[in-house]
Structure 1
Amino acid sequence: MVLSDSSNGDIGWKKWLIAGWAFMECLFFGGLLYGWGSIVFVLKDEGIYADLCPRTGNTSGSGNITHDVTFVPVKSQNETGNNTGYIVNSTDATLSPGSGAPAGGKDVICKPQDSNYALCFTIGSALFCLGCAVLGHVNYKYGTRVTRILSFLTFVAGTLMMAFISKEHPWLMFPGLSLMGIGGLPILVTNTQVSNLFSTGSSTFVGLLCGGFDMSSAVLLMLAYEGGFSRQYMFLLICGAHLLVLVSTFFFLPREFIPRPKVKVIEREVAENEEVGIKLIDKSANVEVNPPRATRPSLRSCMLKPMFVSHVLWLSILQVRFYYFVGSINQYLNRLFDEDKDEVSKFTNMCFTIMMGGLITSPMAGIVYDLVKKLCKDGKSQPYREVLPAALPLAVGSLLAVLLSVLVLIPSTGLLYLIFVVMTLFRSFLYSMAAAFLSAVFPSEYFGMLYGVMIVCGGVVGFLQFAFFKWSEMYAEGPLHANIFQLVLVTISFIHPLFLWITCSREEKKFKIMAVLINTFPLRKQNCNGYLTVNIEI
């Protein structure tokens, strides 16, 4: 059942089993790092780092409230009456008496505690990007199996640390979250090569994997915790279930890589001094006279290609737009509803509920990509057939970013549902095309490294979001001006699809001119063996 490194994907129905298994891995284990919001809810409920909060009411201590504590009296969503709930970042949660929350009729936002949780996610996100580049290099050097084994060990170590966090050892959440994130991303990276098993629909499959990766932040954590498991059993369950990844590692995927299907080549020889007129047999055929032997480009040359540089720029710009919207959604809703916490909480939940539809919308980018591929299949040049189809879905991603930036400038609550839908579609096209483009255009062996470099560059540029946050806080019109600036910024991302279209169109035009010349003027040429060898790609 193991795919050999020289397999061309001709394995019949087994490729569907492998594809389904790859999606399952991404859905359950790939992006648990981004489920941090759910984990924080649990950790606060257990009183992790609650000792940093000043004690009030009946608890021991001075009873005075310092400037680090803010009381927010709101009605609980879990009970009727005038009970109050604990609010952090507009998420209602009633704390138990032992969790460190103050007694009485008001609830508290503890800044020192929140600061530790924010620091944990910041460190985890930074190491996540760095680990992506490191394991991408491991994948390039040592292949799929070694990468997945290291990923497995890292993920298991992270989930075990998350399981044994306690009030006595709260620091375990820092390495635990980081290792869990670092170990999850290679699942997506190594499974994208499964798309090479499909001659059609490969980009759709990559988009589906990205959708599963996005959804994994909520699926397993939500099912486990709300199913009655404690936090420790929840992470032990995840750790045990992660053993399923070894099935694909040793029984489905090859030791190295799944190559793309090879192009069939027909060779014919022409006798010495025979006059020949080379003629295109059909519209999809390519003709070359004495072509050089195909060689794989170097990794360095791939990184220096203008289309890779422009792709990284495209991702970085649009990712800043996405990060800023998600990070400022609470402030945006508060401005729209004049600090009405009930409405803000309602639409915050609605936003993240709609975002869960990413499992459905993520394959849409791949579907568009594959449809355009069919329209370009009659092209004479390879860039026209393989690279140009990406221009349309990439342009759609930029267009959705522009649409989102325009909608948030309109202060209307009636547009919120449309804004959330556009944002979900935008995220799907952003991350699905970020992966699908690399998978389709560059050698499979380089995907992990190129993806890691792209994520690191995007993460570095992503720090601009903090500048936009500060800008928004400086004065009353700050949020409006920051959003207008980002509207201008995202229009720059159209450079990438425009560059692809111009480059591929020029290559196609050159090839058509060459084909006309070859068909017009007969050739009289011999090679060292006295024959003219003509290769025709089908």
Structure 2
Amino acid sequence: MVLSDTRNGDIGWKKWLIAGWAFIECLFFGGLLYGWASINFVLKMEGIYGCDPVSVNGTKAVALTIDSLPDTRSNDTSEENDGTCKQQDSNMALCFTIASTLYCVGCAVLGHINYKFGTRVTRIISFIIFVAGSIMVAFISKENPWLMYPGFACISIAGIPILVTNTQVSNLFIVGSSSVVGLLSGGFDSSSAVMLVVKLAYESGFSRRYMFIIIAVLHVIVLVSTFFFLPKSYILRPEAKVNIECEVSVKENVAFEQNTKNKETETEEAVSEVPSLKSCLLDPKFVTHVIWYCISTLRFHYFIGTLNQYLTRILKQQDQVSYFLDVSMYTMMGGLLTSFLSGFVHDWQKVMCKDGKSRAYKEVMPAVLPLAITSTLSLLLSILVLIPVTELLYVTFIVMTVYRSFLYSLAAAFLNAIFPGQYFGMMYGVMILCGGAFNSSQFAFYTWAETYHAAPQHADISLLCLVLLSYIHPINLWVSSWKEERKFKVAYSLLTKEKQNHLTEEQGHLNLEVTK
């Protein structure tokens, strides 16, 4: 029996059980790639694609300070020799770029599968890919370093369907659905802590191989919700019909006042039809949302992908780099709270806009403020990375965590609130695919940052300028919503005036009859 079956009405406490289980899945397996900085550190300590030897004491690698590492690069033409291994850094950056790009491509493909075949088939495919990726990462070695590329790509590809298929759980909650999406996104964000656990376990003497085998085995819990909690197809929004009726209430009243039942019936039938997928994909709101997501995710992924190099550049000492990497991962765990905050802001705005006359004002306008906050956080992060002050790193990590939570919570919540639920997987996949194609340019930024001494700052300044374009989305939504609201207010005002005139005429005729 599927617990999410709502044909007989509200399923009560069961929806909380399903939401809790969905959160656990997102937390343990969703966004492992976001912990790249931690696993990157482990792979470097093991000498994967490395230039310099690392000493080993028992099962624990002994970190050498960067200043003490010998320079084996006789052909290094950089302006400043900082002792880093550019060959290793280049391979790590390329691996992250490929994984984050295929994460987007895989989301689009699995989103299409989800649209065609439903939730169950999508999750089974995702399960197989994730386990295969975990096994490949477990067996990465100096002799087989190439396993790093397909391994992390598979983990990345299989992580996002966990969030996408669990997002529909929010449809079980008529009140606070955006908060549920935010909570799931918070678990997805905080799953970077899994990689932090791998790093801490490695430093304590545990093998990376055994850690990833354990992760692969634990992933079997995903099959529980696949077959017992979630439906084979989708969980639809129960309030969809109410929204459609509210949207055309003014039109229905006008039709009623004009006493044209045929026209009223045609209007109801036309509006009650679900819009086509093509019309949703070409909707300006979706187009600007994709642009907003592409810019925002590039800024975030470039920061995560180059965090190790960024810390090395401003800190120099490996023990300090390791410390601040741990700080960044601990801070990311705060995404549990900040993602809920983004959902709360969205739901709060829905309450503020509930008295609007048009559907655009009631459903689109609530997203304007949280989207603008996300763009502002992206701008603030772009400014902070230009200030190489150690004390500001704590602030940078906090801003990055809040920014990431707002980004991915709203990326999903906006589509879930505006467009038909059965299109969510497909539209989310298209958005992620476009983001992945745009996100592949991060390697070009990384290559640019390695060309000369001041290049990293110049690359960050370029990204800062690019982030300013993300404000196009909330501004467009604000303008379009107000235009639609004014149209409905004018129509409502004319309708009210016609009613008053009609009542006045009837009252006049009544008075005339009484006088006679």
> Normalising TM by the smaller chain, what interval?
0.7 to 0.9
Structure 2 Cα separation of the partners of residues 466 and 118 of structure 1: 7
- What is the one-letter code of the residue matched to 1:15? K
SS in 2 for 1:379: coil
Residues 1:363 and 2:340 aligned together: yes
| Distance change in 2, residues 1:158/1:370 (3 Å) | same
Per the alignment, residue 456 of structure 1 pairs with 433
| Distance change in 2, residues 1:166/1:481 (3 Å) | closer
Structure 2 Cα separation of the partners of residues 413 and 111 of structure 1: 23
- What is the one-letter code of the residue matched to 1:495? I
Per the alignment, residue 2 of structure 1 pairs with 2
Choose which of 157, 160, 163 in structure 2 pairs with 1:185.
160
Alpha carbon RMSD of aligned pairs, Å? 3.6
Per the alignment, residue 442 of structure 1 pairs with 419
> Any residues of structure 2 matched to 1:337-376 within 5 Å, and which?
339=316, 343-376=320-353
| Distance change in 2, residues 1:423/1:255 (3 Å) | same
Q: In the alignment, is the contact (CA less than 8 A) between 2:126 and 2:159 conserved in 1?
A: yes
Deviations 1:142-200 (A, max 9, x none): 11111112112222232333345566655444433322322222111000000111112
What is the deviation of 1:136?
0.4
What is the deviation of 1:429?
1.2
Per the alignment, residue 268 of structure 2 pairs with 292
What is the deviation of 1:138?
0.3
| Distance change in 2, residues 1:517/1:289 (3 Å) | farther
Choose which of 299, 305, 310 in structure 2 pairs with 1:321.
299
Per the alignment, residue 123 of structure 1 pairs with 98
- What is the one-letter code of the residue matched to 2:281? M
Choose which of 310, 326, 344 in structure 1 pairs with 2:288.
310
What is the deviation of 1:299?
1.3
Choose which of 237, 244, 255 in structure 2 pairs with 1:260.
237
Structure 2 Cα separation of the partners of residues 498 and 469 of structure 1: 31
| Distance change in 2, residues 1:122/1:292 (3 Å) | same
What is the deviation of 1:409?
3.9
Choose which of 431, 453, 458 in structure 1 pairs with 2:408.
431
| Distance change in 2, residues 1:8/1:316 (3 Å) | farther
Choose which of 212, 216, 220 in structure 2 pairs with 1:243.
220
Q: In the alignment, is the contact (CA less than 8 A) between 2:386 and 2:457 conserved in 1?
A: yes
- What is the one-letter code of the residue matched to 2:231? P
Q: In the alignment, is the contact (CA less than 8 A) between 2:38 and 2:326 conserved in 1?
A: no
Choose which of 393, 417, 433 in structure 2 pairs with 1:416.
393
Structure 2 Cα separation of the partners of residues 182 and 361 of structure 1: 25
Counting aligned pairs with the same residue, the percent is: 58
Residues 1:12 and 2:3 aligned together: no
TM-score (norm 2): 0.79
What is the deviation of 1:481?
3.9
Structure 1 Cα separation of the partners of residues 368 and 110 of structure 2: 29
Structure 1 Cα separation of the partners of residues 493 and 170 of structure 2: 36
Choose which of 371, 385, 388 in structure 2 pairs with 1:394.
371
Stretch of structure 1 that moved more, 462-471 or 354-363: 462-471
Choose which of 170, 173, 182 in structure 2 pairs with 1:207.
182
- What is the one-letter code of the residue matched to 1:153? I
SS in 2 for 1:387: helix
| Distance change in 2, residues 1:325/1:147 (3 Å) | closer
Q: Unpaired runs of 5+ in structure 1?
A: 54-68, 94-107, 267-274, 279-287, 524-538
Structure 2 Cα separation of the partners of residues 477 and 172 of structure 1: 34
| Distance change in 2, residues 1:151/1:333 (3 Å) | closer
Stretch of structure 1 that moved more, 345-354 or 197-206: 345-354
What is the deviation of 1:382?
1.2
| Distance change in 2, residues 1:296/1:252 (3 Å) | same
| Distance change in 2, residues 1:448/1:474 (3 Å) | same
SS in 2 for 1:431: helix
| Distance change in 2, residues 1:86/1:300 (3 Å) | farther
- What is the one-letter code of the residue matched to 1:292? E
Structure 2 Cα separation of the partners of residues 48 and 405 of structure 1: 31
Per the alignment, residue 403 of structure 1 pairs with 380
What is the deviation of 1:499?
0.6
Q: In the alignment, is the contact (CA less than 8 A) between 2:63 and 2:318 conserved in 1?
A: no
Per the alignment, residue 494 of structure 1 pairs with 471
Q: In the alignment, is the contact (CA less than 8 A) between 2:108 and 2:433 conserved in 1?
A: yes
- What is the one-letter code of the residue matched to 1:151? S
Structure 2 Cα separation of the partners of residues 515 and 277 of structure 1: 12
Structure 2 Cα separation of the partners of residues 70 and 250 of structure 1: 49
SS in 1 for 2:278: helix
SS in 1 for 2:268: coil
Stretch of structure 1 that moved more, 35-44 or 483-492: 35-44
Which structure has more helix as a fraction of its residues?
A: 2
Q: In the alignment, is the contact (CA less than 8 A) between 1:72 and 1:87 conserved in 2?
A: no
- What is the one-letter code of the residue matched to 1:259? L
| Distance change in 2, residues 1:504/1:14 (3 Å) | same
Residues 1:144 and 2:119 aligned together: yes
Structure 2 Cα separation of the partners of residues 179 and 308 of structure 1: 28
Deviations 1:230-286 (A, max 9, x none): 4343333222222211111111111111111234469xxxxxxxx9759xxxxxxxx
Stretch of structure 1 that moved more, 291-300 or 113-122: 113-122
Deviations 1:42-68 (A, max 9, x none): 55666666xxx6xxxxxxxxxxxxxxx
Q: Unpaired runs of 5+ in structure 2?
A: 70-82, 247-254, 501-516
- What is the one-letter code of the residue matched to 2:280? C
Which structure has more strand as a fraction of its residues?
A: 1
Stretch of structure 1 that moved more, 210-219 or 187-196: 210-219
Stretch of structure 1 that moved more, 14-23 or 218-227: 218-227
| Distance change in 2, residues 1:305/1:418 (3 Å) | same
Stretch of structure 1 that moved more, 231-240 or 328-337: 328-337
